[in-house]
Amino acid sequence: MTEPESTAAPVPAYTGPSRVLSGVQPSGALHLGNYLGALTKFVALQDQTECFFCVVDLHAITVWQDPAKLTAQTREIAAAYLAAGVDPAKAAIFPQSAVRAHAELAWIFNCVARLGWLDRMTQFKEKSGKHKERSSVGLYTYPVLQAADILVYKATQVPVGEDQKQHLELTRDIAAKFNNDFSAPGFFPLTEPLIEGPGARVMSLRDGAAKMSKSDPSDNSRINLMDDADAIAQKIRRAKTDPEPLPEGLEDLKPRPEADNLVGIYAALAGVTKAEVLLQYGGRGFGDFKPALADLAVAVMGPIGERMRRLMDDPAEIDKVLRAGAERAQAVAEPVIEETKRLVGFWPG
Ligand code: AMP
Ligand code: TRP
């Protein structure tokens, strides 16, 4: 028998509880983009919904990671979550590899997702570059594992930066196809991405057309979570801009990507809109604006870096958080993977 056809008929919606899941790879130092695009949202959500924040080490090894460093990198991301204000009493913080159900569900989803869907993923194209045939198979099927991370908790919302939009669409496609193929309407939710706000796409400080990224060879392109006050201020002072003063209106910001980015960063750090920033700084030059932005960035980011350094001096404490988080996560993931396997028809039914 061939697999079931998808139907256009309306299907019952998911009726389970709201849950939030997100993850960050332990593959290098975190930067302001990760902070504004992801971590600040984690902190806001933990008071509203049950939250799961993992350190996605299974994703990290889709490209080579030195085994001697990976454990420390995992602790570093956990420290960043804590330093940014994620409270382990409220949200579960854990390493992805410590909850086996992620990998198990990913395999099942590998058999649900279609090659054609993965062929469209732009992140794979970017990361594999010119040498696709030398990439790991894991890098190709990376978004399927991401869908498993999310759906093994039946997460209804996922806070991420804009670069993850396509992976979240794939997650919905996989959930819908699974529910349809296994006659389990509403079993997996159609997860909503939470991407809005000026921090969802922070650009490089050296190039307004490139995303701020861990992998940019220029350290001046990003503000790292661990940068000290001097480094933060200096990188902002040196950020690429144009010679014009800031405009009064948002429309005039659009053709000026570097200016737009700095205004967006200010807005995200201050918790206001870009329009509000322009109300205050419109008509003023970067000679005024950059020092104000540097002061704000140092005030917000400086203490986070300090907290991170303090936390990393005590790996045993971080491990305690990770262990407790993994236990909580397991308790939610286990019944979901068990029911999924039953639906697929695995023994003993
Ligand atoms: P990664 O470091 O790739 O694991 O990303 C962790 C989180 O940070 C994800 O939610 C990304 O979407 C988000 N993120 C990464 N870079 C940026 C950026 N430049 N601007 C906004 N969000 C970002
Ligand atoms: N792919 C994400 C990134 O590179 C990390 C990630 C893995 C993730 N699993 C996830 C994000 C689940 C949100 C939900 O940024």
pLDDT in tens, 5-15: 877 777 789 99
Ligand 2 pocket test, candidate residues 160, 191, 213, most atoms within 8 A of CB: 160
Return the ligand 1 atom nearest residue 37 CA: 22
Predicted confidence at residue 62, as pLDDT, reads 97
Ligand 1 pocket by Cβ (under 6 Å): 24-25, 33-34, 36-38, 160-161, 163-164, 200-202, 211-212, 214
Residue 155: nearest ligand to its CA? 2
Residue 197: nearest ligand to its CA? 1
Please state, in angstroms and rounded to a whole number, the distance separating the CA atoms of residues 144 and 166.
Answer: 12
Q: What value, to the nearest 5°, has the Cα angle with vertex 77 and ends 136 and 238?
A: 95
Residue 38: nearest ligand to its CA? 1
**pLDDT tens sequence across 205-243:** 999 999 999 989 999 999 999 999 999 999 999 999 999
Query: What average pLDDT does the segment 67-89 reach?
Result: 98
Is the distance from the beta carbon of residue 260 to the nearest atom of ligand 2 less than 6 Å?
no
Residue 23: phi, psi to the nearest 5? -150, 155
**pLDDT tens sequence across 47-76:** 999 999 999 999 999 999 999 999 999 999
Return the ligand 2 atom nearest residue 142 CA: 1
Confirm if 124 and 139 have CB atoms less than 8 A apart: yes
Per the DSSP assignment, residues forming a β-bridge with 194 are 159
Is-cis flag, bond preceding 348, omega within 30? yes
Tell me the CA–centroid distance for residue 147 and ligand 2, in Å. 9
**pLDDT tens sequence across 306-331:** 999 999 999 999 999 999 999 999 99
**pLDDT tens sequence across 89-129:** 999 999 999 999 999 999 999 999 999 999 999 999 999 98
Tell me the CA–centroid distance for residue 41 and ligand 1, in Å. 12
Using a 10 angstrom Cβ sphere, with 0-12 exposed, 13-18 middle and 19 or more buried, the burial of residue 158 is: buried
Residue nearest to atom 13 of ligand 2 (CA): 22
Q: In what order do the strands lie in the sheet with 157-159?
A: 91-95, 50-55, 19-24, 157-159, 192-194
Query: In percent, how much of the chain has pLDDT > 90?
Result: 94
Query: What average pLDDT does the segment 120-146 reach?
Result: 95
Confirm if 162 and 182 have CB atoms less than 8 A apart: no
Is the distance from the beta carbon of residue 156 to the nearest atom of ligand 2 less than 6 Å?
no
Under the banding of pLDDT at 50, 70 and 90, the label for residue 34 is very high
Predicted confidence at residue 28, as pLDDT, reads 86
* Active site members: 127, 211, 214
Q: Which domains does the chain have, with CATH numbers?
A: 19-200+315-344 (3.40.50.620), 219-311 (1.10.240.10)
Q: pTM here?
A: 0.96
